[in-house]
Chains A and B, each alone.
Chain A
Amino acid sequence: MTIEVLRHTVSHGLRASALLLALAAVLSWDGATAQAAEEVNIYSLRQPFLIEPILQEFTRRTGIRTNVVHAPQGLVERIRQEGRNSPADVLLTVDIGRLHDAAEAGVLQPVRTPTLEANIPAPYRHPQGLWYALTFRARVIFASKDRVKPEELDTYEGLTAPRWKGRICTRSSQHDYNIALLASLIAHHGETAAEQWARGLLANLARKPQGNDRAQVKAIKEGECDIALVNTYYMGAMLEDAEQRAWAEAVYLYFPNQGGRGAHVNVSGAGITRSAPHKANAVKLLEFLSSALAQQLYAEHNFEYPVNPDVPWSPLVASWGRFKPDTLPLVEIATHREAALRMFDRVNFP
């Protein structure tokens, strides 16, 4: 009987420890993170292949390993929920609205260093250093080389003119880039005029908004529409892609509002999280990302405009010409973000 009990206990004990071992294995299973002495953890709302070459260069120079989680949304919430134990050091994102939201959510900490402030001009950083913009891009008009003469184009406001009826393509109004553009119109013209603009643009669309920015250029190439709202860097990205090269070659890039307030610009940027366990490394990463070297990589690989004024534009980007950017403070755009979203809902812009 005692032996029975003993056997019973041992077999249960064995089973329990096997279970525990399995659990421990699962808990420690992740994406091949070697226990590096120095590392920095990044939550990125940007696509990893856009930042990978730059992060590799960072690791090569500093020996600091970079670990990345990429998701298109939900990472600010993850930092918030993980609280003071969050492993994230740096939040990397596009769009001023998202940087602003992260700052508002209280997941970022103020960081100011002479290097960062020297590399990044004041309009491109948060006054207390909660976030720093790393690149900027313009949202411009891409037009068909065959069917649209540059003289026909002028401003964002002009897109509601009757001559564009059935000729414009754009991605969904859900997307940050379109929301920011409408927010800038609200900031400049007020809600009523901006809403009229949104209605006018909707009325002129050639097709229901769909796909991303590249898909709009493809649509121009295929003759579905003549002009589209697209971010500048896509021109470079498409020229590099064997399949998409033909799309890009069918269009030219037009900077609107050059006679007035300038073309609408948005940024990509980063901030250091409040709980950053590797804060020193995170600061090093941000300083590296704002340095001439990384800024040049950004410019060359991603065809974005460097925020660091000392860094030259890549030859291709420079070939699009200098342009006058809208000088509206970025935070101004972020504060009108929700109004813009509601406005798109009101006018039933898909």
Chain B
Amino acid sequence: MDTQPSLPLAPAWSWRLPRPHAWGVVALLVALLVASPLLAVLGIALHPEDDIWAHLVSTVLAGYVATTVLLALGVGAGVLVIGVGTAWLITMCTFPGRRLFSWALLLPLAMPTYLAAYAYTELLEYAGPLQALLRQTFGWQTKSAYWFPEIRSLGGAMTFMTLVLYPYVYLLARAAFLAQSASLLEVGRSLGRGPWRCFFTLALPLARPAIVVGLALALMETLNDFGTVDFFAVQTFTVGIYRVWFGMNNAPGAAQLATLLMAFVLLLVALERLARQRQRYHHTSARVQSAPLFRLRGAAAGGALLACALPIALGFAVPAGLLASYALDVRPGPGSAALPSTVGNSLGVSLLAALACVGVGTLLAYAVRLRPTAFVHAASRVASVGYAVPGSVLAVGVMIPAARLDNALDALLRQTLGISTGLLLSGTVAALVFAYTARFLALGFGTMEAGLVKITPNMDHAARSLGCTAGRVLRRVHVPLLRGSLLTAGLLVFVDAMKELPMTLILRPFNFTTLATHVYEYASAERFRLAAPAALAIVASGLIPVILLSRGIAQSRVERVPQAGLTESNQEAIPLRDSLHK
């Protein structure tokens, strides 16, 4: 057993206090539970029926991989430029509308990718109003008379995914920039570096862990997406997985593809970690005043305004406006009577998912901090990779452990007591919440980990030396310090859970509809307009969390205060978390 404690032993080391390694064990068990659907998928992959690879390799596989890589690169570059760029402008500069933009830039988070895709297709396709207007204006008769970009294409998927996914990067980059010490940049400036060099050599590297978390979230959502790419007829890896599983009815083949996708994501995460292994990101500055804002004037102010307004308009205002205009036309029909209970279901399940993800995410992130062994690290990474797995595949993965547990319990009680319990977990809201946790843990864990990293371990040491147990340190020190992160994590999960579709469809209880399934049922019949009220409700219910989120970041400046008061030298003296597990 690894006995090296990561933190000095507290003096009050008594029978009722959980030892640090107990945290490791609990974290491992929880990680295992959350990862069980992924392990189930792995299990299916290990039992091949007939070999799908020869066929895939000789036909479509190269296309799937190329399309997926291009999509990921395009979306990755797009969300980085928009997310980091706007975050930096908002944090460092002042220009007209800045205060409004600072929260409005998060609005596209409330817009499900598939809704943006539907809305833009309605607007921009050949039959849509824009092209019709162009034809009318210029007298073009046919499709071949002029050129217009094909909306349902790889480029379209890239564009619209970027427009709704950049807020992940914006959110985390802004929080990171805000938390950066003003004095650091002042030092940079006083040493003669210009604003651009300061940005690229100081601010950006320091914000890297947070930006990477945001980028990873955006990319994982890109990889797991089926609705949008299917609608745009873009053949990604995920489309391939669906085709093999539900078309060719070859579950092991599809599970192998899904495993490959997971391995790829884990590899990327590991490579990024490796690249910044030796770097530390704890804040040590005692200075709390914010950096002076750079006043932009004239063309620069106009440019900044446009740079912030465009993503909001394209990622939110245009699609939401279209939905609203459709919703106004919809007369109450047969489906609208059930809408209140549908809203209730959506809100309830999303809330439970948010609580579960924040709880598990905090536990895992703290366990990693306490016991940064390779094992705990790996377990928490694997548990969070569900975010990159296509929803339907993960849904089947969720069924397996849930049904096994149910049936084992049932069989046991039938044998011993002669009673049948039936399925206790499968087909219930609890199974659905479990599935959401397996999927969205990355949001809870990533946000909490990014938050914890910023708190210097000296805080833990001080509290422990005063007799606090590890649990008490978490409760009394970290949780109050990380209120903002907890809120961010919970709200991110909530907003995402409101949009979740494929797992809900497959795993839901009888007669159970959410807003997303309601929209799907109409949209899949090309009756999107009838679903507009429900679609608008998804967006609207995402708005409140988004506004809370932006308030949360604004308060993060306050959060920084108690972290202060430590000098460079005493930080050096203490082994830091990353150096321990080497």
Q: Which residues of A contact B (CB under 8 A)?
A: 23, 26-33, 41, 47-49, 52, 67-75, 77-78, 81-87, 101, 172, 174, 179, 206-212, 214-215, 218-219, 221-224, 237, 241, 243-244, 338, 341-342, 345-346, 348, 350
Contacts and interface: CB of A to CB of B under 8 A. Distances in A.
B512 to A, nearest CB: 3
A232 to B, nearest CB: 16
B407 interface: yes
Contact of A30 (B406, B428, B529): B428
Contacts of A75: 506
Interface string B113-131: 0000000000000110000
A208 B251 contact: no
A47 B512 contact: no
Contacts of B247: 174, 179, 341
A350 B233 contact: yes
Contacts of A244: 526
Given A219-B126, A223-B142, A73 B506 contact: yes
Given A23-B430, A27-B428, A29-B429, A348 B63 contact: yes
Contact of B527 (A77, A174, A209, A241): A241
A215 B526 contact: yes
B551 interface: no
Contacts of B426: 81-82, 85
Given A174-B243, A348-B63, A32 B341 contact: yes
B505 A70 contact: yes
B403 to A, nearest CB: 4
12 contacts: A26-B433, A29-B429, A31-B341, A41-B510, A70-B521, A73-B506, A77-B396, A87-B423, A172-B233, A174-B239, A207-B150, A341-B248
Contacts of B335: 49
B509 interface: yes
A106 to B, nearest CB: 13
Chain B interface residue number, banded: 35 or more
B508 interface: yes
Interface string B241-254: 01101111101000
Nearest to A215: B526
Contacts of A23: 430
Contacts of A341: 243, 247-248
B155 interface: no
Interface string B405-426: 0110010000000001011111
Which of A72, A81, A222 has the most chain B CB atoms inside 10 A of its CB?
Answer: A81
A14 B94 CA distance: 53
Contacts of A49: 334-335, 521, 525
B165 interface: no
A174 B56 CA distance: 15
B237 interface: no
B59 A82 contact: no
Given A210-B152, A348-B63, A30 B509 contact: yes
B511 A67 contact: yes
Contacts of B58: 346
Contacts of B232: 210
B505 A348 contact: no
B240 to A, nearest CB: 9
Contacts of B400: 81
B235 A71 contact: no
Contacts of B126: 219, 222, 224
A348 B510 contact: no
B521 A48 contact: yes
A86 B513 contact: no
Given A81-B399, A86-B423, A174-B247, A27 B513 contact: no
Which of B251, B352, B422 has the most chain A CB atoms inside 10 A of its CB?
Answer: B422
B99 interface: no
Contact of A78 (B63, B142, B399, B406): B399
Nearest to A345: B59
A74 B521 contact: no
